[in-house]
Amino acid sequence: MTGLFLREMLKQTISLIAWQCLSEKRFQTGILLLTEIVIASCYTELCYENVVNGIEERQMKLTFYTHPMSRGRIARWMLEETGLPYETVLLEYGTSMKAPEYRAINPMGKVPALKHGDVVVTETAAICMYLADLVPEKKLAPPVGSPERGAYYRWISFMAPLEQLMIAKTSGAPLPKSENAGFGTEADLLDTLEAALTDREYLAGDTFTAADLLVAAYVGWYVQFKLLEPRPAFVQFAERHRKRPAALRADEIDEELLAQQGK
């Protein structure tokens, strides 16, 4: 806001000089200065609009629908990373999660879901990416168009085939043919993930992003539930990021909620 005020003052001063030049018949300088003012005004207007939109967007209420024993734990970690205030609505499996009031928000009757003003976001990965974009100053997503954005989308999306493989393995049935399965072969998938995580602190650029959060959370879970072999790269990556203050805070909140439910 101080920046906008200073720019406004500068505009006023330049326009005074411009009118002075014109009255002294120094037309070329006067017109040049006036043109600069028009350009500066448009720019200021644009900046102002962006600032106002940004503030309004942040002020919209965030409502988080979850269960403390669900993928909602990942979304809560992300919420805690943003530092934005949010309200939690707890739902129960099979009852309130399938009630018409909640199906009006997520017709799947599943958690997590996020409501931001009138915007509804479901799917854990989408919620994390949406939240990252709400707080650009936290750099939880690489800038749009940057090379790191490619890696960001790539490793977030890689959690889908990993999940398909994990689910396929729990079924006990033989795995589908690799050409048909989105995850290819188990060896290819695990080796690819291992190579990405080996000696790597962050997956997209030099700072922690939602890609690290999602990969650390899912890989950590699958190792914990013994669905994924505990290769050192998997364990180290998950453990390192799951020690972040926001992750610990989120865990503490969900553990407390579980304790209150007597679970």
Q: Which stretch binds ligand GSH (CB under 6 A): 43-51, 106-114, 182-190, 237-245?
A: 106-114
State which residue, 114 or 238, has the beta carbon closest to ligand GSH: 114
Among the listed residues 33, 62, 97, 211, the single contact to ligand GSH using CB under 6 A: 97
244 CB neighbour count, 10 Å cutoff: 17
Does 225 interact with ligand GSH (rule: CB under 6 A)? no
The nearer residue to ligand GSH, 97 or 165, going by C-beta atoms, is: 97
Does the protein bind ligand GSH through residue 123 (CB under 6 A)? yes
Inter-residue contact 254 to 67 (CB < 8 Å): no
Distance (Å, whole) CA 242 – CA 158: 19
Alpha helices for the chain (secondary structure H)? 2-23, 27-59, 72-82, 100-103, 124-134, 147-157, 159-171, 186-197, 210-224, 232-241, 245-260
Which residues are registered as beta bridge partners of 113? 65, 122
Q: Helix, strand or coil for residue 85?
A: coil
CA distance 235 to 174: 27
Minimum CB separation of residue 6 from ligand GSH in Å reads: 46
Residue 254 interacting with ligand GSH (CB under 6 A): no
Rounded to 5°, angle at Cα 157 from 182 and 97? 95
In the list 76, 110, 116, 241, the residue contacting ligand GSH (rule: CB under 6 A) is 110
- Nearer to ligand GSH (CB atom), residue 111 or residue 210: 111
| End-to-end Cα separation, the chain, in angstroms | 49
Taking the least distance from each CB to ligand GSH, the nearer of 70 and 82 is 70
Using rule CB under 6 A, residue 106 touches ligand GSH: no
* CB closer to ligand GSH, 218 vs 233: 218
Residue 76 beta carbon to ligand GSH: minimum distance, rounded to whole angstroms: 12
- Nearest approach in angstroms of CB 111 to ligand GSH is 4
Q: Which residues would be at the binding site for ligand GSH (CB under 6 A)?
A: 70-71, 93, 97, 109-112, 123-124
